[in-house]
Amino acid sequence: MQLANTAAIVTGGASGLGAATAQALAAEGAHVYALDLPAGIEDAATTDSITYVPADVTDPEQVAAAVTQAAGAGAPLRTVVNCAGIGPSARILGRKGVHDLALYAKVIQINLVGTFTVLALASQAIAATEADDQGQRGVIINTASIAAYDGQVGQAAYSSSKGGIVGLTLPAARDLAQYGIRVMTIAPGIVETPMLASVSDDFRAGLAAGVPFPARLGHPEEYAKLALAIIDHDYLNGEVIRMDGALRMAPR
């Protein structure tokens, strides 16, 4: 599928995986609407190819408004990449007692329900566009994690949310096939994003050493490159691709 002269939505688009993806899509000729929380985009400058839109993925009205903005700007909405998410750590039973139930619900609401909300509302707008000569209208790429498969101690909430995205992939692809919309998921391993900004260099080096090959952390640009490859490859649909250097996480 071609990106030039189309519109794209990237959630979590002001930093990390989302920012790298927004820049990569823009470089291929798409006009990108990068959704993020207001605090996340306050220092982001709107460019000719990237428009930063304040939107909370847990608020359907804000998501609907952002989708309307992207779909109504004159170019067909073809691409959605869901990168918004959080990853707090807490044990089901810890020193302070039972896992904060509100925190568990919040992680599910942002990571899983937020992803579904964007997918559903954006797919409606994509379905309304004119198909290309092969019947294609668009691609939606969601972000899971290897924690969906190898959740560690303290990752019950995060792994649940990302496992839900894995489970969403195939039925979403089947639901949207009649509209010419493909659905794919990327499950990254340990990627150098703002979530790791607070850890020490020694801890980061230890994480990198656990990756079979290449023995380093992933880069957001590599996620973006994979997203572009998925968009370009018209026969990829309904699948989850691990991007993790063959890493399989230990219990802790």
SS percent in the chain: helix, strand, coil, step 5: 45, 20, 40
| Interaxial angle between packed helices 60-71 and 114-127, expressed in degrees from 0 to 180 and rounded to the nearest 10 | 30
* Identified catalytic residue from 33, 52, 158, 223: 158
DSSP 135: S
Tell me which residue has tokens 């039925």: 171
Does residue 51 contact residue 74 with C-beta atoms inside 8 Å? no
Tell me whether residue 104 is one of the annotated catalytic residues: no
- Joined together, the tokens standing for residue 130 give 């004119």
Residue closest to 143 by CA, chosen among 37, 57, 247: 57
User: Cα(10)–Cα(252) distance, rounded to whole angstroms?
Assistant: 32
Residue 170 CA: distances (Å) to CA of 29, 118, 183, 237: 29, 17, 8, 8
Residues recognised as catalytic: 158
